Amino acid sequence: MPYVNIKVTREGTTPGSKGVTPEQKAELIKGVSELLLKVLNKPLDATFVVINEVDLEDWGVGGLPVDEWRRRNAKG
């Protein structure tokens, strides 16, 4: 029985939003589950998907908080 944990930053994907929408989460759960069925023949009813939203200040990359990393790596 597969267990998939998806972690995303808690920030909106469109202006004014504060996180991942319930519809986006449902699409992720469906897509990951169907991929495991297709690739590994794992039944949908035995696949568990958990989505965790992490505050932006709790996420880092390249030794930096992600917002600072983004500023340093912004193209423009």
**Domains along the chain with CATH numbers:** 3-73 (3.30.429.10)
Mind listing the pLDDT tens digit for each residue in 12-54? 766 677 789 999 999 999 999 999 999 999 999 999 999 999 9
Output the six-digit token pair for 2. Answer: 């597969």
**pLDDT value of position 76:** 60
User: Among 2, 15, 22, 43, which one carries the catalytic annotation?
Assistant: 2
The pTM of the full predicted model, rounded to 2 decimals, is 0.82
Contact residues for 7 (Cβ-Cβ < 8 A; gap 6+): 51, 52, 53, 54
**pLDDT value of position 15:** 66
Residue 43 designated active-site? no
**pLDDT value of position 10:** 86
**pLDDT value of position 53:** 93
**pLDDT value of position 75:** 75
**Radius of gyration (Cα) for the chain, nearest Å?**
16
Torsion angle of alpha carbons 3, 31, 8, 13, nearest 10°? -170
